[in-house]
Amino acid sequence: MSQNTTLKKISQILDISISTVSRALKNHPDISERTKQKVIELAAALEYEPNAYAINLRTNNSKILGLIVPSISYYFYDTFISSIEEECRKNNYTLLILQSGDDTETEISNIKICRHNRVTGVFACITPNTKDISAFLKLAESEIPLIFFDKVPPYENCNKVCIADAAAAKMAADLIIQKHKKNVLSFFGNKSISITQKRLPAFIEAFEQANTSANLDIDFALSFEEAYEKTLFYLNKKNKPDTIFCMSDEILIGVMKAIQQLQLKVPENIAIVALSNGIMPKWYYPEITYIETSGDKLGRLAFARMMECLSGNIQPQELIIGSMLVEGGSI
Amino acid sequence: MSQNTTLKKISQILDISISTVSRALKNHPDISERTKQKVIELAAALEYEPNAYAINLRTNNSKILGLIVPSISYYFYDTFISSIEEECRKNNYTLLILQSGDDTETEISNIKICRHNRVTGVFACITPNTKDISAFLKLAESEIPLIFFDKVPPYENCNKVCIADAAAAKMAADLIIQKHKKNVLSFFGNKSISITQKRLPAFIEAFEQANTSANLDIDFALSFEEAYEKTLFYLNKKNKPDTIFCMSDEILIGVMKAIQQLQLKVPENIAIVALSNGIMPKWYYPEITYIETSGDKLGRLAFARMMECLSGNIQPQELIIGSMLVEGGSI
DNA sequence: TTGAAAGCGCTAACAT
DNA sequence: ATGTTAGCGCTTTCAA
């Protein structure tokens, strides 16, 4: 029933024109109070629901925002997504969430879905395999505001919203140094993604500047399984690490599995420091000490930037959000 | 640019009528090959993208499916969502994912968003707090197919797609009995949700039927924190359990945190069995033995059922999907 | 084989 | 304060 109530129907019942009904429902000042009331009442009674498609066809404003992300779950994005969702709800936008799953073809297809649904703007976090971002840039050319977040392309001329990757990595390194750790194993993610490219050098530089005698091993893991395998390997060596740094939750999971297997005590036998949005660190005992890379704050910032773009402030900008140390008991 | 290409524009350039262009693009048999080719080429060159809003306004078919779920991440739903997404992509549907976050108001607002965007159908998993499902049922009254999945309401006359909750719980119980466990602690989730109501009695019944001398403790945990606290409590008792059953991933996380804290060896000191979609059990060492409640298969089934509803097979049905034992090393 | 025309539901400029 | 009208982009019936 609510599906069929239209302005026309209301206007016929009330024997007034369609435009009067339209105006009454929008609380237009021209319309008399009496008419307004009649219309609003009837609309409520008939459960009138404006036809979003007609509105968009007419106004060219879908009030849908697209969100393209490698994966919805487990790691960083869930808090980001939740905060964007909340903002959308507050501001009467519909959020269209699309997972690309590390697959560039699906990513392209997701961009098409955004176009097809004529989204008002797009939030995008690129997959580790994304080299060619021309399909994304075309959105921006079509005047669809585009905001990259977290894993962003190495391209200057676009909107980006990132956490302070370098600063966070440095904080982690400084913490480890300050605790006088002597043999540090640090795991980073895919070398070709922006966050690794920012975190890794900052981490190394912090150690160099500290002028410490600590040994620093750097390795990479692209999945939790790989982090697990490699951790086992390192912890079975003669000169085994006293500290492991995990660039991401994914890595943390693998490292912790290996530590469980070897029955090491944290932090007595091995110290752990991670970069995380803070959900998984609480799943372990002792809770993991981490540098918070807040998806929540990042989401709010991205949304605010989107609103700015939509209201005309189009100059590409890169925004950075700070992070902070959250102490668990793992170091 | 692609934003502005319309049938009209193409028709003007080619000096033919709009309807001919429309037909040519749809490969309508009436149109000559020559015309078709010309049109298709030009459309490609101008990056023509059909206006979904105009189509929907005309045809009343949005090809958007809504998915309303308590939470996108961490636990069961991600595999379910991914498989639905894949089916949608294959079948040219857009999936609108909406999180309710255990909040009934947000859930209602999500239903409204579905209506507003005139979705073709809705998949819904209700929150633990949802008592009143009338807003959902109204969708079905408006002839929007509605398929509940996983956590479904206690209401006969609607479509449901569930895992074999009772059978899965029985499998877990049988496994524990067969391993001659003597002191079993079992954690269940919120008593007011359907899956608990199905799993709990089946679990208990399996023990009763087995006529074992084993002691069975039943308790409930609504969050991973609660599972953690309660596990600590039970494991510090004199007569401590030799086995813990976890009804969900959420509970498993809490239980495992307590086990880490107490430095118990799995399965020597304590055995674990869970119900899970299989992602988290692999995060622990030894990997957790679980009864698979496959979100993936459930998603495919739900989608297939949706397509059936859309093609007219509207009789409410409850579909159940089997589960199976996946051995880890935790019992 | 192609074109003309109506209409989906709505908004907004232009009457009155 | 209210009505008339045109048109957003598309599909589809009817006509040629």
Helix (H) or strand (E) holding B57: helix B52-59
CA-based nearest residue to A198, from A252, A136, A151? A151
- Give the integer Cα–Cα distance in Å for A139 and A160: 15
Residue of A nearest to B73 (CA): A73
Residue B74, pLDDT score: 67
- Give the integer Cα–Cα distance in Å for B81 and B67: 8
Nucleic strand D within 7 A of Cβ A52: no
Residue A198, pLDDT score: 96
Per CATH, B61-162+296-321 and B165-294 having the same topology is answered: yes
**B143 and A3 in contact by Cβ < 8 A?**
yes
- Give the integer Cα–Cα distance in Å for B17 and A103: 41
A59/B contact by beta carbon, under 8 A: no
**A257 and B285 in contact by Cβ < 8 A?**
yes
B90/A contact by beta carbon, under 8 A: no
- Give the integer Cα–Cα distance in Å for A314 and B17: 38
Question: Could you tell me if B329 and B314 are in contact, meaning their C-beta atoms sit under 8 angstroms apart?
Answer: no
What residues form DSSP beta bridges with B190?
A: none
Q: Which CATH number does B165-294 carry? A: 3.40.50.2300
Residue A104, pLDDT score: 96
Q: Using the structure block, give the residue that is written with the tokens 């932090």.
A: A267
- Give the integer Cα–Cα distance in Å for B138 and B72: 24
Q: What tens-digit pLDDT sequence spans chain B (331 residues)?
A: 345 899 999 999 999 999 999 999 988 888 888 888 989 999 999 999 999 999 999 998 899 999 999 988 766 788 899 999 999 999 999 999 999 999 999 999 999 999 999 999 999 999 999 999 999 999 988 889 999 999 999 998 999 999 999 999 999 999 999 999 999 999 999 999 999 999 999 999 999 999 899 999 999 999 999 999 999 999 999 999 999 999 999 999 999 999 999 999 999 999 999 999 999 999 999 999 999 998 899 999 999 999 999 988 889 999 999 999 999 999 9
Nucleic strand D within 7 A of Cβ B191: no
- Give the integer Cα–Cα distance in Å for A300 and A86: 9
Beta strand segments in chain B, E: 64-69, 94-99, 121-124, 146-149, 159-163, 183-188, 215-220, 243-246, 271-276, 289-292, 318-321, 324-326
Mutate to test the interface with B, among A61, A73, A95 (most CBs of B within 10 A): A73
CA-based nearest residue to A194, from A226, A139, A230, A148? A148
To the nearest whole Å, the CA of A88 is away from the closest chain B CA by 11
Nucleic strand D within 7 A of Cβ A61: no
For chain A, positions 258-277, list CB contacts with chain B under 8 A: 258, 260-261, 263, 265
Question: Could you tell me if B194 and B151 are in contact, meaning their C-beta atoms sit under 8 angstroms apart?
Answer: yes
CA-based nearest residue to B144, from B116, B125, B108? B116
Nucleotides of C under 7 A from a protein CB: 1-5, 7-13
Residue of A nearest to B54 (CA): A57
Residue A225 clears pLDDT 90, i.e. is over it: yes
Alpha-carbon distances, residue A168 vs A174, A207, A252, A255, A321 (angstroms) = 10, 14, 16, 20, 10
Q: How would you classify residue B326: left for phi > 0, otherwise alpha for psi between -120 and 50, otherwise beta?
A: beta
Nucleotides of D under 7 A from a protein CB: 1-5, 7-13
Which residues in chain B have their CB less than 8 angstroms from residue A73's CB? 72-74, 77-78
Count of positions (residues) in chain B: 331
Backbone angles phi, psi at A203, to 5 degrees: -65, -50
To the nearest whole Å, the CA of A154 is away from the closest chain B CA by 25
Mean pLDDT of A56-63: 91
* Position with higher pLDDT, B202 vs A27: B202
**B53 and A51 in contact by Cβ < 8 A?**
no
Which residues in chain B have their CB less than 8 angstroms from residue A54's CB? 53, 57
Q: Is the pTM of this model over 0.85?
A: yes
Alpha-carbon distances, residue B291 vs A63, A148, A272, B149 (angstroms) = 43, 40, 32, 18
Mutate to test the interface with A, among B59, B260, B265 (most CBs of A within 10 A): B260
Residue B163, pLDDT score: 94
Residue A154 clears pLDDT 70, i.e. is over it: yes
Nucleotide nearest to B53 (CA to C1'): D9
Q: Name residues whose C-beta falls within 8 Å of residue A87's C-beta, 6 or more positions apart in sequence.
A: A93, A299, A300, A303
- Give the integer Cα–Cα distance in Å for B58 and B118: 13
Residue A2, pLDDT score: 41
Question: Could you tell me if A326 and A273 are in contact, meaning their C-beta atoms sit under 8 angstroms apart?
Answer: no
Do β-strands B318-321 and B324-326 pair in parallel, antiparallel, or remain unpaired?
unpaired
A61/B contact by beta carbon, under 8 A: no
Domain boundaries, chain A: 7-50, 61-162+296-321, 165-294
CA-based nearest residue to B215, from B238, B184, B240, B243? B184
Q: DSSP labels for B173-234? A: HHHHHHTT-SEEEEEE--TTSHHHHHHHHHHHHHHHHHT---EEEEEE-SSHHHHHHHHHHH
Residue A141, pLDDT score: 87
Which residues in chain A have their CB less than 8 angstroms from residue B1's CB? 141-142
CATH superfamily of the domain spanning A61-162+296-321: Response regulator (3.40.50.2300)
Residue B1, pLDDT score: 38
Nucleic strand D within 7 A of Cβ B32: no
Give, in Å, how far the C1' of D5 lies from the CA of A8.
15
* B102 class by beta-carbon count within 10 Å (0-12 exposed, 13-18 middle, 19+ buried): middle
Give, in Å, how far the C1' of C1 lies from the CA of B120.
35
For chain A, positions 17-56, list CB contacts with chain B under 8 A: 49-54, 56
Question: Could you tell me if B199 and B166 are in contact, meaning their C-beta atoms sit under 8 angstroms apart?
Answer: yes
Q: Give, rounded to a whole angstrom, the gap between the first and last alpha carbons of chain B.
A: 62
A178/B contact by beta carbon, under 8 A: no
Helix (H) or strand (E) holding A11: helix A7-14
Q: What is the pLDDT of residues A171-210, one digit of tens each?
A: 999 999 999 999 999 999 999 999 999 999 999 999 999 9
Give, in Å, how far the C1' of D6 lies from the CA of A47.
28
B192/A contact by beta carbon, under 8 A: no
Residue A1 clears pLDDT 50, i.e. is over it: no
What residues form DSSP beta bridges with A117?
A: none
Residue B2, pLDDT score: 41
- Give the integer Cα–Cα distance in Å for B165 and B323: 9
Nucleic strand D within 7 A of Cβ B28: no
Give, in Å, how far the C1' of C3 lies from the CA of B91.
33
- Give the integer Cα–Cα distance in Å for A135 and B292: 39
To the nearest whole Å, the CA of A283 is away from the closest chain B CA by 6
Which residues in chain B have their CB less than 8 angstroms from residue A117's CB? 52, 64, 94
Question: Could you tell me if A147 and A159 are in contact, meaning their C-beta atoms sit under 8 angstroms apart?
Answer: yes
Structure tokens at A294: 């807040």
Count of positions (residues) in chain A: 331
Residue A3, pLDDT score: 58
